[in-house]
Structure 1
Amino acid sequence: MANAWNQLPLDVLEVDLGSGVRAGFSNRAGGTSLGAHSALNLGYHVDDDWDRAHANRGLLGRWLGAPLTMTTQVHGAEVAEVSAYRPNMRRRADALVSTTPGVGIGVMVADCVPVLLSDPGAGVVATAHAGRPGLVAGVVGNAVTAMTERGARAESIRAVLGPSICGRCYEVPEQLREDVEAAVPGTATRTSWGTPAIDIATGVVSQLHELGLTQVDRVDACTYEHERYFSYRRDGVTGRFAGVIALAG
């Protein structure tokens, strides 16, 4: 059943982040990986065949119209600038920023919130990997700051949050929920079965609004509930899908 994803065409949800910007979110369909990683796995770190994951990045880069650079994500808040294609960038960073046309940047996820940002007028794009630790550490704010340091204006920045685990499904211990709520108010919630939970995407939206962004959209799809997306919480051993963005070359 898992390998049936290989038989499907590449399926990328394109999102509008302004003139001269292409951006979208992949799912499992259309790649070369097998088994638990079937089919469009983009992660090198999940025990998939490296060549297959590399080929998948190439497929998604061709859709984007720019080769993809991704970092080693560690659930932190560091931002790395990308000015040229790096096929195997080992730098640890959970946000990327670029002002270079024709250079694709991406954020890998399998439940965390992938955030794509652009100020098309200023020619600045960015990504952020907002899991629970990164949300609390401030990765979203750091990505926005990196953009404004390169000429973007908060009121002109557009943001789209991609598919992620929803508050109905992200169960956590009660103390952890309270700790995250204290750091990012509005994130505390309950699962559909009544246990403590966190709504990371709501926290991201709240932080973006506090930073002065008014153009914020969200893809309403839960990775845990929909098998078309990789979900670490649901499956354990699994691949990674991505949010990708590039300035037109």
Structure 2
Amino acid sequence: MTHAPSPAPIQSELLNQATGGAIVHGYFTRQGGVSDGIYRGLNVGLGSNDNRERVQENRRRVASWFALPLERLATVHQVHSPDVVVVDADYDGSRPAADALVTATPGIALGVLAADCGPILFADPEMSVIGAAHAGWKGALTGVLENTIDAMEKLGARREAIVACLGPSISRRSYEVGPEFVDRFVSQNKAYDQYFTASPKAGHAMFDLPALTVDRLRAAGVRAESLGLCTYPDSERFFSYRRTTHRQEPDYGRQISAIAIREI
């Protein structure tokens, strides 16, 4: 198996300042893994056609960065839903169909995968409750962000103490959509028109998913920021579904963003 440098994730200044080291997080790039070819690097996508042994090794490296065994890296089978699962000390490694996870249990890393969609990490440092959500356009529109916050509150979090950060995701300049896509949003809320600007292609628009995501987080009552990193143009650091589609490649990898409460 190919040797590669250990993964070195990107971090949120907001999360770091708020949590003071009691909660650790990372937005992992594709660097520091063992996959090769179109999956080169740290592909953690069990749903990809990459060699499963390499994917598991990549996931093990992510868990090790948190000083945890692979079995304590919790992820879900993402289906672009608004659904959230609670993870506790009895976590058995299952991957239920959902798009967000929350926990108040130390020593478990909650991870969400993405390759253009938005990975959002949440923390209430006062009550030691964390969350992770995968929000593409459908999840963001149907409430996965708000549902994650609600689920954290049920574990004891206080909304006003929660901080959240959107990691690397596709930006407005790389996200062209058709008129039916715009209609879907504006028919739900006319104010959503602000997230679309004219495209060079007649009848199309450029969609600002990161702005929608951060605005919905703030409207839900939490402090939120975005790393401001676009996955599409940066092939050295990020996998991108849309870039893969435009290049007519047969498949694509996924990067992971994860968060954990430190064990005392």
Q: Identity across aligned pairs (percent)?
A: 34
Counterpart check, 1:187 vs 2:195: yes
Q: What is the CA–CA distance in structure 1 between the aligned matches of 2:54 and 2:90, rounded to whole Å?
A: 19
Structure 2 counterpart of 1:31, from 24, 30, 33: 33
Counterpart check, 1:118 vs 2:110: no
Q: Aligned to 1:168, what secondary structure does the other structure show? A: helix
Counterpart check, 1:18 vs 2:27: no
Contact 1:110–1:231 under 8 Å retained in 2 = yes
Q: Which runs of 5+ in 1 are unaligned?
A: none
**Correspondence list, 1:1-249, <5 A:** 7-15=4-12, 16=16, 17-19=18-20, 20-66=22-68, 67-84=72-89, 86=91, 88-183=93-188, 185=192, 186-191=194-199, 195-213=204-222, 215-227=223-235, 228-236=237-245, 237-249=251-263
Deviation at 1:132, TM superposition (A): 0.8
Deviation at 1:88, TM superposition (A): 4.3
Q: What is the CA–CA distance in structure 2 between the aligned matches of 1:107 and 1:142, rounded to whole Å?
A: 15
Deviation at 1:86, TM superposition (A): 4.9
Q: What is the CA–CA distance in structure 2 between the aligned matches of 1:87 and 1:108, rounded to whole Å?
A: 19
Q: TM-score, normalised by structure 1?
A: 0.91
Q: What is the CA–CA distance in structure 1 between the aligned matches of 2:92 and 2:239, rounded to whole Å?
A: 23
RMSD value, Cα: 2.0
Structure 1 runs (4+) greater than 3 angstroms displaced: 6-9, 84-88, 181-184, 190-195
Contact 2:88–2:105 under 8 Å retained in 1 = yes
Structure whose alpha-carbon radius of gyration is higher: 2
Instruction: Specify whether residues 161 and 192 from structure 1 end up closer, same or farther in structure 2 by C-alpha distance, changes over 3 A only.
Output: farther
Q: Structure 1 residues 154-163 or 58-67, which shifts more?
A: 58-67
Q: What is the CA–CA distance in structure 1 between the aligned matches of 2:107 and 2:201, rounded to whole Å?
A: 46
Q: Deviations for 1:169-225, whole angstroms, at most 9, x for unmatched residues?
A: 111111212322443623223457784122111111111111111x21211111001
Q: TM-score, normalised by structure 2?
A: 0.86
